[in-house]
Amino acid sequence: MTTQPMIGIDLGGTKIEIIALADDGSILLQRRVPTPQNQYRRTLETIAQLVREAETSLGRAATVGIGLPGSLSPFDGKMRNANSVCLNGQPLREDIESLLDRRVSITNDANCFALSEATDGAATGAGSVFGVIVGAGTGAGLVVESKVLDGCNGVAGEWGHNPLPWPRPDELPGPACWCGQRGRLETWLSGPGLARDHEEQTGAKGLTARAIAEAEARGDPAATETLERYETCLARGLSHIINIFDPEVIVLGGGISNIQRLYIPLAPKNTPFRARRFLSRARRKNAGIVALRQVFTTQLSTKRCVA
């Protein structure tokens, strides 16, 4: 008897990616489409359409898991903490299950990332891993002994909305965050946060985080200063994690993780402690979705989070 293929959906702020895996982990199908911006129903319908098309192509039904920023509340089943804010407050699992007429597993994308890196990525073999995604937003996941630690409220690792530690006077009150607070780590550590800081400090408008990193690599002094400010924010944020969790490995993912200078000065310059290894993510495709397979397989075989 053949087992059902597994469909993993990576629901991001700018794109939705679907991948179907066979039982042996081989990729049967893969597709990426833009995320409808700030449109909850259209986002649901896009996911459902992708699944239906994939199943038509596969010729059979599949199990479905979705990785996304934020998480479902274990108390009311509604989404929280997603930087795709149209998802927040919505009963996403209920709605997508109703559209697809089956159970669907939903989990945090940074948890997928951390598990993936701990399983066969940059942190392979480490007993404890803090996986950070710094890109459009800022998220993180904790893995201990090859298991995601998601916490009794399901928010473990939601580090992006902690305040920036030890703010200097010129960093207060800090930029407004979509969550309603000011000066949260995400407003400093995400790609848009880095770009905003550069614009505010230099007056140079419209440069992306990537463009700033490229300018730094060419020796631009203003871009270098921006990245030095960024590094102190990252170090201050991570120092809290080290004091509480003391992970063996910290792995960075997301677009910002491509900035190689982050791996040189950070730990020794800014904190007396450091993770045994501080690494960039494994260079491969689909890492999050491969981990998603493990996450949703586990979830589907155990109790539902939502009562």
Contact between 215 and 97 under an 8 Å Cβ cutoff? The reply is no
Residue 82: CB minimum distance to Zn ion, A: 11
Residue 192: CB minimum distance to Zn ion, A: 12
> What are the strands of the beta sheet with 128-134, ordered from one edge?
147-148, 138-144, 128-134, 249-253, 277-280
Q: Is 184 in the site for Zn ion (CB under 5 A)?
A: yes
Contact between 117 and 247 under an 8 Å Cβ cutoff? The reply is no
Among 74-82, 132-140, 180-188, 293-301, which window interacts with Zn ion (CB under 5 A)? 180-188
Burial 162-186 (b: 16+ CB within 10 A, else e): bbbeeeeeebeebbebebeeebbbb
- Whole-number CA gyration radius for the chain: 19
Q: Which residue has the tokens 């586990």?
A: 298
Burial 44-82 (b: 16+ CB within 10 A, else e): bebbbebbeebbeebeeebbbbbbbbbbbbbeebbbbbb
Cβ proximity to Zn ion, 35 vs 187, nearer residue: 187
Cβ proximity to Zn ion, 184 vs 198, nearer residue: 184
Among 46-54, 171-179, 194-202, 274-282, which window interacts with Zn ion (CB under 5 A)? 171-179
Cβ proximity to Zn ion, 177 vs 241, nearer residue: 177
Q: Which residues pair with 148 in a beta bridge?
A: 143
Cβ proximity to Zn ion, 179 vs 306, nearer residue: 179
Cβ proximity to Zn ion, 184 vs 281, nearer residue: 184
Cβ proximity to Zn ion, 180 vs 206, nearer residue: 180
Cβ proximity to Zn ion, 177 vs 256, nearer residue: 177
Contact between 254 and 135 under an 8 Å Cβ cutoff? The reply is yes
Q: Is 251 in the site for Zn ion (CB under 5 A)?
A: no
Instruction: Please count the residues of this chain forming the interface with Zn ion, following the rule CB under 5 A.
Output: 4
From the centroid of its chain, how far is CA 58? 29
Residue 89: CB minimum distance to Zn ion, A: 15
Among 78-86, 170-178, 267-275, 297-305, which window interacts with Zn ion (CB under 5 A)? 170-178
Contact between 127 and 286 under an 8 Å Cβ cutoff? The reply is no
Q: Is 177 in the site for Zn ion (CB under 5 A)?
A: yes
Q: Is 28 in the site for Zn ion (CB under 5 A)?
A: no
Residue 161: CB minimum distance to Zn ion, A: 4
Q: Is 236 in the site for Zn ion (CB under 5 A)?
A: no
**DSSP symbol at 253:** E
x/- mask, Zn ion, residues 144-163, rule CB under 5 A, reads: -----------------x--
CA angle 126, 130, 133 (to 5 degrees): 130
Cβ proximity to Zn ion, 104 vs 177, nearer residue: 177
Structure-token pair, residue 257: 């993780």
Residue 83: CB minimum distance to Zn ion, A: 9
Among 48, 58, 144, 179, binds Zn ion (CB under 5 A): 179
Cβ proximity to Zn ion, 48 vs 86, nearer residue: 86
x/- mask, Zn ion, residues 109-148, rule CB under 5 A, reads: ----------------------------------------
Beta strand ranges found along the chain (DSSP E): 6-11, 15-21, 27-34, 63-68, 71-72, 79-80, 104-108, 128-134, 138-144, 147-148, 249-253, 277-280
Say how many Å lie between the first and final Cα of the chain, rounded.
33
Positions touching Zn ion (CB under 5 A) are 161, 177, 179, 184
